[in-house]
Each structure stands twice: as C-alpha cells, then as structure tokens.
C-alpha cells in the first residue's frame, strides 16, 4: 500500500509540474503573440540593421527620413470598442486616388512602406498611414491578427470617404498582418469610394499562422499549446483565432484584389496567398516574386511591383467618381 501511495504522489507531482509548465509556456506564448510591446527608436534602428533587406537598407532609411519631413495631418478615429486609433494623412499634389496603408505585426507604417510612401506621393496618390491598434500612437493592449483590426480598417475607410467627400477612389493596402487586416475587412460594408484591396504577404488566419510559427521555430505541436493560447485570447482579448479567415472574407467580397508574395517567405508561406487568391470572388491578380523573403517583394523587384501597384490603382480608379448623366 505504501508503494502505491508513493506512486500516486509521484504521478500527481509529475502532473502538477507538467500543468505548471504548460501554463508558463501558454503565458509566455500569449505575451509574445498578442500583448502590446512598443519599440524604442534604438530598437527600430536595430531592426533595420538586422537584415540585408535586399541591399536596400539605405533607400529604406531615406524613405523614412523623407516621410518624417512631410507636412502630415494627424488624424484619429474611435474604434467600436472605444480605443483611440491614430494615423497620418498626407495629401499628394493633384491627387487622383488615396491609399490607406496598414502595417504588419509589431511594426509601423513608415518602416513597412518606407520605399512605397514617396513613390505613391510622386504619382499623385494621397496616403493615410495608420497606426494599428496596440501599435505606435494608437491605444490598445492586445493585437488581434486582423480579427479585431478588420473593423478598425472599415472605420478608417468610412473616415477617409467622409474626409475626401467621396471625391477620390480609395484603396486599402496592407503588408503581412496588415494584408490580413484588409482582406478580412473586405467582406464588411464599405463606402462606394473603396475600389480595391492590395495584400502583400498576408496570412489566411491567425490560427494557421500561429500553427506554422509554433511548428517551424519551436518544433511544438498545435495541441495543446495553440489551443491554450486560443483559450487565453478568448478570455483576455475577446476573440477566437479561428473566428474569421481571409479566404472566407474574400469569398464574400466583390472588391478587386492585388496579391503580392515572395516565394522565399518562411514566415508567412506563399501558399497562404495562393489559398486566398483562389478563394477571392472578385477580380484578382497575383504577383509572385521568386525567392523574396517576408515583406521584401517590393525591395527585390521594385520596378515590377511598382508597375503592378500603379496599374492596379489606375485600372480600378477609372470611372470614379461616377459622372451624373
């Protein structure tokens, strides 16, 4: 009997230790995955210096410095859950369109779009550069992987429509999580001035992206770790990682979509864009950049990506605003 009791106590101890370990891993995973963590300017500089960026680091820095010098208007909205969200509006001379730009996970717009910003401006495209919730100047504690941000994107679109008086066509563009944000928002009611979506290296769902990262970098199975993180998301942040997918939203939308992705992306596999492309119900075009890493398609094939982007904006700007007969 004594040996049985010892065995039971040992098993209980092992179980408790395992439960404590999984709890600690879940908490660490949640902190890494969804809790706000702001970077210092020194950390942004370190990020710029951490990779080769296709040999375009100086041009990226130049683009960020160019943007910092521009006379921007700080604008804001209040999200449906009461957060003050901020962005900058930069009006281009003789503007023919406006693009709202949504950055990626733990990033910021002037970094993700450093080389795109001056290009758009020089081509008479006004810019709304958004600080997504829980990033930069915007309020928020939890990152929502597009699930929460899709409603923010919708509100920004209506804000722009009102600000511009419906005069200019609007395009919603995102990179990485920002791309998932604009894709997931595509099924929501939008003003008639929203003419298209531009999605660069976006994932299909928060669940799929986390599962990929957990497996690739931590060599862990989805069960139980991702299930526990999802439970924590539901309790703390109020959303489910499987709540919506980009493919599902695109299947309900008639908005034209330009998809861009690098085939060398090991953070968000290019297969996710192919899945989203196949699901999109509206007019669509897919641009795959051979060998480009995550978020580097524009850096690697600038001429091609610039041409595709401007052609898309021009094509779907035609006929807007409609003329009265």
Q: Which residues of the chain have pLDDT under 50?
A: 8-22, 24, 325
The pair phi, psi for residue 88, each rounded to 5°, is -120, 140
Q: What is the pLDDT of residue 225?
A: 87
Sign of CA dihedral 280, 182, 38, 226: negative
What residues are paired with 285 via a beta bridge? 258
Cβ contact 50:95 at 8 Å: no
Q: What is the pLDDT of residue 14?
A: 46
Q: What is the pLDDT of residue 160?
A: 98
| Distance spanning both ends of the chain, measured CA to CA | 95
CA 283 to chain centre: 21
Cβ contact 237:231 at 8 Å: no
Which are the contacts of 287, defined by CB distance < 8 A and separation ≥ 6? 258, 259, 260, 261, 297, 304, 305, 308
Helical packing angle, 206-218 and 225-232, nearest 10°: 140
3-state secondary structure of 194: strand
Could you tell me the domains of the chain? 41-205+244-317 (3.40.50.1820)
Cβ contact 221:283 at 8 Å: no
Q: What is the pLDDT of residue 1?
A: 56
Q: What is the pLDDT of residue 19?
A: 39
Burial 93-109 (b: 16+ CB within 10 A, else e): eebebbbbbbbbbbbbb
Q: Output the six-digit token pair for 261.
A: 């992705």
Q: Is 62 exposed, middle or buried (0-12, 13-18, 19+ CB in 10 A)?
A: middle
Cβ contact 174:200 at 8 Å: yes
Q: What is the pLDDT of residue 28?
A: 54
136 torsion bin: left (phi>0), alpha (psi -120 to 50), beta (else): left
């Amino acid at each position: 009997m004594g040996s049985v009791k010892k065995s039971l106590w040992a098993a209980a101890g092992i179980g408790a230790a395992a439960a404590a370990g999984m709890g600690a891993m879940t908490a660490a995973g949640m902190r890494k995955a969804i809790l706000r963590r702001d970077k210092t300017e020194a950390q942004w500089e370190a990020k710029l210096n951490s990779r080769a960026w296709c040999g375009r680091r100086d041009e990226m820095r130049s683009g960020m410095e160019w943007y910092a010098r521009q006379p921007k208007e700080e604008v804001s909205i209040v999200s449906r859950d009461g957060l003050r969200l901020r962005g900058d509006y930069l009006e281009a001379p003789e503007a023919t369109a406006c693009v709202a730009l949504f950055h990626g996970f733990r990033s910021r717009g002037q970094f993700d779009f450093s080389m795109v910003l001056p290009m758009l401006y020089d081509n008479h495209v006004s810019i709304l550069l958004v600080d997504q919730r829980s990033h930069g100047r915007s309020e928020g504690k939890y990152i929502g992987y597009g699930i929460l941000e899709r409603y923010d994107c919708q509100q920004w679109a209506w804000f722009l429509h009102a600000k511009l008086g419906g005069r200019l066509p609007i395009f919603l563009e995102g990179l990485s999580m920002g791309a998932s944000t604009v894709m997931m928002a595509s099924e929501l009611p939008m003003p008639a001035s929203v003419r298209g979506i531009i999605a660069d290296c976006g994932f299909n769902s928060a669940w799929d992206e986390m599962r990929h990262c957990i497996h690739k970098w931590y060599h862990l199975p989805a069960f139980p770790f991702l299930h526990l993180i999802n439970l924590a998301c539901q309790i703390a942040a109020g959303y489910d990682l499987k709540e919506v997918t980009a493919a599902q939203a695109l299947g309900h939308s008639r908005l034209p979509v330009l998809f861009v992705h690098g085939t060398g992306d090991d953070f968000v596999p290019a297969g996710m864009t192919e899945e989203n492309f196949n699901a999109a119900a509206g007019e669509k075009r897919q641009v795959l950049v051979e060998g480009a890493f995550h978020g580097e398609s524009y850096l690697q094939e600038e001429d091609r990506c610039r041409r595709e982007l401007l052609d898309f904006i021009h094509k779907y700007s035609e006929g807007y605003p409609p003329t009265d007969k």
